């Protein structure tokens, strides 16, 4: 009788432990839902700050920014600020990513050139808004890791090249839009040549003081629109000679 009572009590304790473990497991929000909730809050904030393109906001909602930053920084991925990605480079502030993308005014069938791949986050955003993205990174480790990451995450219309963005990517020109994600003292001439007539080019210009500029290519030359002061890492390579 005592032995039977022992087994009944033992079984009750085990069942209770399993039930408690189940409750703990259910109370922990899966990472995918947790990050989705943070991403939604970020997009709501971007909307409040003046990002009006629903296509851009939807792309920002879909692309998982935490997968484009070092693991130890993932908890900060949906804060509206730049984060280091190694080699002295950063992933841009989400507001600036959204603003630059919005300035390109993409409709869906464009070919876009990006200068400064970084971790591939901006290219991933662009890939959801246009037909093809060609992106150039001057630092080979970043180019290689971005290529692998974009492929692994399923971004099939993004093509990554290791090289100096000053020269653009002539083989696939002309481009409907060009976006430069590093600060240059001027617009590199090859990029102007590779931009379609009527095309848009967004670039941060300056050294200590930088301004985000939008250029539109016309028969009479480039029309310049200055947007906001910004702070980007400097463009490297030929542009500095």
Alpha-carbon Rg for the chain, nearest whole angstrom, is 23
Helix (H) or strand (E) holding 93: none
Q: Which of the 8 DSSP states describes residue 1?
A: -
From the CB of residue 70, how many other CB atoms can be counted at a distance below 10 Å?
13
CA distance 29 to 202: 39
C-alpha neighbours within 13 Å on the C-beta side of residue 225: 11
Q: Which of the 8 DSSP states describes residue 20?
A: H
If we measure between CA atoms, which residue out of 44, 60, 46 comes closest to residue 128? 60
92 is catalytic: yes
CA distance 203 to 227: 10
Residues linked to residue 211 through DSSP beta bridges, in sequence order: 205, 229
Q: Is 13 left (phi over 0), alpha (psi -120 to 50) or beta?
A: alpha
Please state, in angstroms and as integers, the Cα–Cα distance from residue 10 to each residue in 1, 6, 20, following that order: 14, 6, 15
Contact of 45 with 61, CB cutoff 8 Å: no
Q: Which residue among the candidates 27, 32, 92, 145 is catalytic per the annotation?
A: 92
Residue with tokens 């963005």: 165
| Catalytic residue IDs | 92
């Amino acid at each position: 009788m005592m032995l039977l009572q022992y087994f009944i009590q033992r079984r009750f304790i085990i069942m209770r432990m399993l039930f408690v473990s189940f409750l703990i497991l259910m109370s922990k929000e899966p990472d995918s839902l947790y990050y989705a909730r943070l991403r939604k809050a970020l997009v709501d904030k971007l909307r409040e700050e003046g990002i009006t393109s629903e296509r851009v906001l939807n792309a920002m909602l879909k692309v998982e920014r935490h997968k484009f930053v070092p693991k130890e920084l993932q908890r900060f991925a949906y804060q509206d600020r730049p984060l280091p990605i190694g080699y002295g480079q950063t992933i841009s502030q989400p507001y600036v990513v959204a603003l630059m993308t919005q300035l390109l005014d993409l409709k869906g069938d464009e070919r876009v050139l990006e200068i400064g791949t970084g971790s591939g986050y901006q290219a991933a955003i662009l890939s959801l808004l246009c037909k093809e993205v060609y992106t150039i990174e001057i630092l080979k480790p970043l180019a290689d890791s971005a290529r692998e990451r974009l492929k692994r995450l399923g971004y099939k219309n993004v093509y990554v090249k290791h090289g100096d963005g000053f020269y653009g990517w002539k083989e696939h020109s002309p481009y409907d839009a060009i976006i430069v994600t590093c600060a240059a003292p001027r617009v590199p001439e090859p990029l102007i040549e590779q931009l379609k007539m009527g095309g848009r080019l967004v670039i941060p210009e300056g050294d200590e003081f930088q301004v985000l500029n939008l250029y539109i290519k016309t028969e009479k030359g480039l029309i310049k629109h200055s947007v906001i002061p910004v702070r980007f890492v400097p463009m490297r390579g030929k542009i500095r000679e």
